[in-house]
Amino acid sequence: MIAIACDHGAVALKKEIEQMLDEMGLAYQDFGTDSSASVDYPVYAEKAARAVTSGECDRGILLCGTGLGMSLAANKVRGIRCALCGDCFSAEMSRRHNNANMLALGARVIGPELAKMITRIFLTTEFEGGRHARRVGMIDTLDQGGTLNE
Ligand code: RB5
């Protein structure tokens, strides 16, 4: 199950991504927004992020004008590793090395075809584990308020 949410700057792109998810046979839960009326992106980032951390959804996709606001907000939710990606290499590495559980996209930065390609890679690439698991564990330590430098 994929959590997906956007602000008013990315409704059209969200619809395109959802169409691709349908074609891929992947179920999703849409947390809004659904119109071009101006909204505050952190509200929608939190809804989708909580769905991921609760286990209700396996991964999440967030979209706003730049992807910046959504990724910054989602990364404030404990347990979220949200990767803002504007290229396919980063999307692949966000999964292989960083075990990102959310993807952020900027609808005013990249076109719909690249956004779909990035999303497909994000959803089909596995985490490599090994030394990367240790590093992701360190991120989790920071996430939980701990330090790596004592
Ligand atoms: C909304 O105008 C815009 O600020 C938002 O979509 C996003 O780009 C924020 O980071």
Q: pLDDT in tens for each of the 150 residues of the chain?
A: 999 999 999 999 999 999 999 999 999 999 999 999 999 999 999 999 999 999 999 999 999 999 999 999 999 999 999 999 999 999 999 999 999 999 999 999 999 999 999 999 999 999 999 999 999 999 999 999 999 998
**By alpha-carbon position, which residue is closest to atom 9 of ligand 1?**
69
- pLDDT at residue 49 in the model: 99
Answer whether 64 contacts ligand 1 (Cβ < 6 A). yes
Q: How far is the CA of 111 from the centre of ligand 1 (A)?
A: 16
Provide the residue ranges of all domains of the chain, joining segments of one domain with +.
2-143
Q: How far is the CA of 42 from the centre of ligand 1 (A)?
A: 10
- pLDDT at residue 127 in the model: 98
CA distances to 26, 39, 60, 70, 128 from 65, rounded to whole Å, are: 25, 12, 17, 9, 31
CA angle, 64 as apex, 58 and 68 as ends, to 5°? 85
- pLDDT at residue 107 in the model: 98
* DSSP one-letter code for 59: E
Tokens coding 143: 């996430």
In the set 6, 8, 82, 97, the catalytic residue is 97
* DSSP one-letter code for 83: E
97 has catalytic annotation = yes
Asked if residues 94 and 85 have their Cβ atoms less than 8 Å apart, the reply is yes
Q: How far is the CA of 49 from the centre of ligand 1 (A)?
A: 18
pTM above 0.95, yes or no: yes
Of 35, 28, 2, the C-alpha closest to 101 is: 2
Domain 2-143's class?
Answer: alpha beta
- pLDDT at residue 39 in the model: 98
Instruction: State the burial class of residue 103 (Cβ atoms within 10 Å of its Cβ: 0-12, 13-18, 19+).
Output: buried
8 has catalytic annotation = no
- pLDDT at residue 25 in the model: 98
- pLDDT at residue 81 in the model: 98
Three-state DSSP state, 4: strand
pLDDT in tens, 117-137: 999 999 999 999 999 999 999
